[in-house]
Amino acid sequence: MEEKLQRPHKNPGGTLQSMAWYALVAACIKLLLIPSYHSTDFEVHRNWLALTHSLPLSQWYSDETSPWTLDYPPFFAYFERFLSIFANLIDPTIVNLRQGLNYNSNTVIYFQRMTVIVSDLCLFFALYRLTAKLDSGKRNLIWVLVASSPGLFIVDHVHFQYNGFLLGILLLSLSFLEEGRDLMGGFVFAVLLCFKHLFAVAAPVYFVYLLSRFSRGGFLKGFGRALVMGAVVALVFAAAFGPFVYYGQIQQVIHRMFPFGRGLCHAYWAPNFWVFYIILDKGLAFLLRKLGFNIQAPAASFTGGLVGDSSPFSILPSITPLTTFIMVLLAISPALIKAWRNPRPGMITRWVAYAYTCGFIFGWHVHEKASLHFVIPLAIVAMQSLEDAKHYFLLSIVSSYSLFPLLFEAQEYPIKVLLLLLHSIVMWLAFSAHSTKNGVINATAPANKGSDKLEVKGSSRAATKKGDFVIGWIGKIYLLGLLVVEIWGQFLHPYLLGSRFPFVPLMLISVYCAFGIMYSWIWQLKRIIGSS
Amino acid sequence: MGKSTGKKVMKNEDGDDCDGWWWLVHKNIGASFLCIAVFAFLVRVAVSFHPYSGAGNPPKYGDYEAQRHWMEITLNLPAKEWYHNSTTNDLNYWGLDYPPLTAYQSYVHGLFLRIFHPESVSLFTSRGHESYFGKLLMRWTVLSSDILFLFPAVFCFVVVYYTGRGRRSDIAWLIAMILLNPCLILIDHGHFQYNCISLGLTIGAVAAILSDKELVACVLFSLALNHKQMSAYFAPAFFSHLLGKCLRRRNPILEVSKLGLAVVGTFAIVWWPYIHSMDAFLGVLSRLAPFERGLYEDYVANFWCTTSVLIKWKRLFTIKSMKLLSFWATILTCLPSMIQQIWSPSNLGFLYGLLNSSFSFYLFSFQVHEKSILLPLLPASLLALEEPFHFRWLTHYALLSMFPLMCRDKLILPYMALFALFYLLYYAPGGREDTRKMQSPSSLRSFMLSFLVLCSLFLHLVYITLHPPDKYPFLFEAVIMLLCFSQFILLTVYTNAKQWMLLKHSTLMDKDKKLV
């Protein structure tokens, strides 16, 4: 007993060692998932390996040997070039532009899967940095939340992408900002943009936040720092795009990176605002037809590109990329105003996550996978209060569920269900453990309340009022509804309707999840406006 | 309500706060079990993506084809012909050689397969059937058996034996150790077998004994015996423990006959189709004891196989005398642990007895194959909290002894992943009190241990990368076997001694009580 009492306050639960433990356990599962189904994205990345390895830089963005042309910014291409060195050592066929097409041997599968698993180190390192100042209990819980996140498993390790790596860079940038090291944060974010430009949705937040920070410490000093920042960003972009400018390829690069020929929605509608817009249009058209109006069925579809002047909508006005752009900016603006007025480092993660939420909800041609961009950063703030925890619980389940259609083969079905189930149980255990602990602290030591780092007035009150982590009845009914939607789509629909209306189950998932995501957006908005 | 849970948390906080797992165990044991069980199930599903034994390897394939073939036979023929060689049932091609409960299980699973994929179990035409969907369904039969038998049994065991006698994070660690036993997962969900059923029934029986429900235990263990005859490895422990318990009651003969009746009754029900004629009965019995398959299979790390490097048992003795020899060797080696249990039956002693008797069977009985190491591993995992080092050591070498089999089955990747996962969970931050305590064993011992671990890791590498010399094509297998055997023997001696030490300990305790 004595030994226990003498144990120093700084305990081993929050060390790098235990962080590595979570990462390694997750890595074991990822290893086991290597032979599972992989999407065409796998061949896309294989082709990029071949392309960057066997062609000179000047042809990277103009090659059309495979339909899966390079459409990520240059840093990602350099990253692929780096990986291709090892690929060439392991099996030269992988990096062969022609013979490697649709290459599917074990070597390429093991190699590419391993690159994803190893590059996840970036995520865990960033996570470690980002949570460095929290107490060990919270740190552990945040790590568990991210390590067990089904979205990362489904998208990265089964479907095949490098989101863990890219999100790692984002979190790294956020960790610098939270420490108050604005220059480093901005620099890392610029690097991230040159890896994947889809992350640019948060650029306005970064811009306003940094500008506001610089303008605080006196005009001259601030101006100088802003200049340095601008120079750093310019340098990063020059390193990325410079070679292509030199070879006169820059137009081709830009063209590849922004293919506006695509439609408003992806083949499977991401659960966002436009789902409601489309449904409303269909409903109105149906009603008006019933009332005797002559409504033309639209010639174009929202998933395909814009065909000439025809609109994919029957009644409602057509949507252009510009409309979505303005809507996203408008939606972000509350966070921008807050960031301008009071650029607190403690809020930046929340603002950035909010920006990605807006981009997801109102953006043009949004992929369902983009929900990872805000779900993972939000895990960091989920421990700040009970309300945050409740919101995260709901959001994480909904967004993971909305990724289910990515894995459509029978073999992976139990994997995605079990991953979500495990994640939900872990969240439930983690949040209730955390809230009871907090409740105890609040009940036993009310004097400490003032020093508590809770950000919103309401949350500490909620924690004292009720120590337990309880989801309200609306939340419960909504989550049960997910189960109903899944059972309908998987079992009842094929059984009752056979192959008729094959699009209905997917549409149901989109619409149903869209409610949850919209709720999350409104909740985040309220949280940001309500913060002092 | 809120206050009482709050107090509990406060009480635990001084010990548990630094645990990485504190969030996992702050609620009741059921919640922790649920979480670990879902994780364990996820691991099993992920392992099931990998190849099974004999995949794409005609004409005999492997255990997967055997199980599928049994489903085909039991589904399409009447029960009386299942064990009978005929034109429709060629016993030379994976004939049924497990007791009737396995046959019934195959029948039920066959029904399941027929609903979704009739081609995979149709008579004659399905021989060697391999398909994406067929594999999936077959895998699901094992996965569902695991959920139905092993998981609930483990839950019962943990609740019965360990609640209230350890920190909650210790118990969570124990659950993880039992449910995520890498050998069991690899054999059942990789190689393809149904050990989870017989082992699950055995754990159920153990839990019943620990909670003093002897009749239930007898029924469950008889069922386990009727699913796989290998469960007999545990029979001496069950027998001696129950006998010892009965002898201490007021009416020993009545107690023993009650239990005997439960066993006979269970057997009669399971063997119902075969007990009407002596011929049928003997026919089934002869199928269950395949003595013609020889003393051992492949390179198994038991006594006969290892010593055959020096003494050619197979040449020196006939099969018949070999049978007798191995029988007596087995009985003699498990006798000490049996005597201890009859002398002084105790719960802990019973668990040690299970370990010792299964070890003597593994080391000395007739017709052992490398998968039989699962049986000693089971009681070792149940005892993991008492003997953490023993359990780790045994698992390590059990895995190594299965490595050649895993290579043949192309299961190296899940083997490595589960190997790593086992060590990670074993050394989980805050999983168990004593892993965090800085132990300072004697330097010679720690040097020996790390040397042995290095040896085994080196052997893995050698086995994958190098070709054995032409003269000795099984050289590496033999070396692996030698290393594993030496460790197994040491562990057996240790656990036998430990079981007898319990006796000393308990008499001391009794004396203390009397003195008080």
* Cβ contact, residue pair B23, A141, below 8 Å: yes
pLDDT > 70: percent of chain B: 91
With beta carbons less than 8 A apart as the criterion, state whether A338 and A359 touch: no
Three-class secondary structure of residue A97 per DSSP: coil
pLDDT of residue A452: 39
Q: Which candidate from B23, B34, B428 shows the least CB-CB separation from A21?
A: B428
Query: Burial letters for A285-319: b for 16+ Cβ neighbours within 10 Å, e otherwise?
Result: beeeeeeeeeeeebebebeeebeeeebbbbbeeeb
Helix axes A348-362, A504-530, angle to 10 degrees: 150
Q: Residue A390 pLDDT more than 60?
A: yes
pLDDT of residue B6: 33
What are the distances in angstroms from CA A359 to CA A116, A332, A336, A377? 25, 8, 14, 15
CA distance to partner chain A, nearest, from residue B6 (Å)? 6
Q: Residue A239 pLDDT more than 80?
A: yes
Q: Which candidate from A32, A36, A434 shows the least CB-CB separation from B43?
A: A32
Provide the β-strand partners of residue B296: B368
Question: How would residue B289 be classed by pLDDT, with cut points 50, 70 and 90?
Answer: confident
B116 at A interface, C-beta within 8 A: no
Residues 428-447 of B with CB under 8 A from A: 428-430, 436
Interface with B, mutate which of A6, A15, A32 (most B CBs under 10 A): A32
B22 at A interface, C-beta within 8 A: yes
Q: Residue A455 pLDDT more than 50?
A: no
The whole-angstrom separation of Cα A386 and Cα A461 is: 10
Cα torsion B60, B281, B288, B194 to 10°: value is 80
Q: Supply B37's token pair.
A: 């069980």
* Cβ contact, residue pair A434, B23, below 8 Å: yes
CB atoms within 10 A of CB B49: 21
What are the distances in angstroms from CA A182 to CA A129, A240, A355, B324, B466? 15, 21, 19, 81, 54
With beta carbons less than 8 A apart as the criterion, state whether A30 and A104 touch: no
Measured between beta carbons, which residues in chain A are less than 8 angstroms from residue B39? 422
pLDDT of residue B56: 86
> pLDDT digit string (tens) for A37-76?
999 999 999 999 999 999 999 999 988 888 888 989 999 9
Q: Determine the average pLDDT of the residues in A143-160.
A: 94
For B4, nearest residue in chain A (alpha carbons): A440
Interface with A, mutate which of B1, B13, B22, B411 (most A CBs under 10 A): B22
- Asked if omega into B379 is within 30° of 0 (cis), the reply is no
pLDDT of residue B222: 96
The whole-angstrom separation of Cα A174 and Cα A137 is: 21
The whole-angstrom separation of Cα A256 and Cα A61 is: 7
Name which of A314-318, B66-70, B396-400, B507-511 the model is least confident about. B507-511
* Cβ contact, residue pair B42, A33, below 8 Å: no
Task: Give chain A's radius of gyration (CA, Å).
Answer: 24
Residues 120-149 of B with CB under 8 A from A: 132-133, 136, 143
* Cβ contact, residue pair A468, B2, below 8 Å: yes
Q: Residue A463 pLDDT more than 60?
A: no
Interface with A, mutate which of B29, B49, B132, B416 (most A CBs under 10 A): B49
Q: Which candidate from B14, B42, B417 shows the least CB-CB separation from A4?
A: B14
Measured between beta carbons, which residues in chain B are less than 8 angstroms from residue A468? 2
pLDDT of residue B515: 55
B152 at A interface, C-beta within 8 A: no
Q: Residue A270 pLDDT more than 90?
A: no
> pLDDT digit string (tens) for B435-457?
444 455 567 888 888 888 899 99
CB atoms within 10 A of CB B191: 25
CA distance to partner chain A, nearest, from residue B239 (Å)? 40
DSSP string for residues in B366-396? SSB-GGGGHHHHHHHHHTTTT-HHHHHHHHH
* Cβ contact, residue pair B22, A414, below 8 Å: no
Measured between beta carbons, which residues in chain B are less than 8 angstroms from residue A434? 23
Interface with A, mutate which of B18, B33, B416 (most A CBs under 10 A): B18
Task: Choose between A247 and A298: higher pLDDT.
Answer: A247
CB atoms within 10 A of CB B100: 23
Beta-carbon contacts below 8 Å between A and B: 133
Measured between beta carbons, which residues in chain A are less than 8 angstroms from residue B421? 25, 28
SS3 content of chain B, % helix, strand, coil (to 5): 75, 0, 25
CA distance to partner chain A, nearest, from residue B2 (Å)? 7
Provide the β-strand partners of residue A265: A366
Three-class secondary structure of residue A230 per DSSP: helix
* Cβ contact, residue pair A13, B425, below 8 Å: no
The whole-angstrom separation of Cα B430 and Cα A22 is: 13
Q: How many CA atoms lie within 13 A of B373 on its CB side?
A: 33
B411 at A interface, C-beta within 8 A: no
Name which of A295-299, B95-99, B239-243, B285-289 the model is least confident about. A295-299
B8 at A interface, C-beta within 8 A: no
The whole-angstrom separation of Cα B369 and Cα A514 is: 56
Q: Supply A419's token pair.
A: 């991953």
* Cβ contact, residue pair B42, A422, below 8 Å: yes
Question: How would residue B504 be classed by pLDDT, with cut points 50, 70 and 90?
Answer: confident
Measured between beta carbons, which residues in chain A are less than 8 angstroms from residue B133? 410
Looking up tokens 């005009």 gives A219
B42 at A interface, C-beta within 8 A: yes
Measured between beta carbons, which residues in chain A are less than 8 angstroms from residue B424? 21, 24-25, 28
Q: Residue B243 pLDDT more than 90?
A: yes
* Cβ contact, residue pair B49, A429, below 8 Å: no
CB atoms within 10 A of CB B399: 22
CA distance to partner chain A, nearest, from residue B166 (Å)? 15
Q: Strand runs (DSSP E) across A42-152, as ranges? A: none
pLDDT of residue B52: 94
Measured between beta carbons, which residues in chain A are less than 8 angstroms from residue B49? 32-33, 35-36, 411
For A467, nearest residue in chain B (alpha carbons): B2
For A425, nearest residue in chain B (alpha carbons): B35
For A7, nearest residue in chain B (alpha carbons): B14
B17 at A interface, C-beta within 8 A: yes
B30 at A interface, C-beta within 8 A: no
Q: Roughly how many angstroms between the first and final C-alpha of chain B, as a whole number?
A: 40
Arithmetic mean of pLDDT over chain B? 87
The whole-angstrom separation of Cα A245 and Cα A226 is: 26
B424 at A interface, C-beta within 8 A: yes
Provide the β-strand partners of residue B368: B296
Q: Which candidate from B20, B39, B46 shows the least CB-CB separation from A140?
A: B20
Question: How would residue A448 be classed by pLDDT, with cut points 50, 70 and 90?
Answer: very low
CA distance to partner chain A, nearest, from residue B418 (Å)? 7
Task: Choose between B16 and B267: higher pLDDT.
Answer: B267
Name which of A187-191, B364-368, B374-378 the model is least confident about. B364-368
B339 at A interface, C-beta within 8 A: no
- The pTM for the full model equals 0.91
State the DSSP code for B249: S
Q: Which candidate from B17, B49, B143 shows the least CB-CB separation from A35?
A: B49
* Cβ contact, residue pair B24, A418, below 8 Å: no
Q: Determine the average pLDDT of the residues in B196-208.
A: 96
The CB-based long-range contact list for A224-231 (8 Å cut-off, 24+ gap) reads A225/A182, A225/A183, A228/A183, A229/A182, A229/A183, A229/A186
pLDDT of residue B163: 74
Q: Strand runs (DSSP E) across B78-142, as ranges? A: none
For A422, nearest residue in chain B (alpha carbons): B38
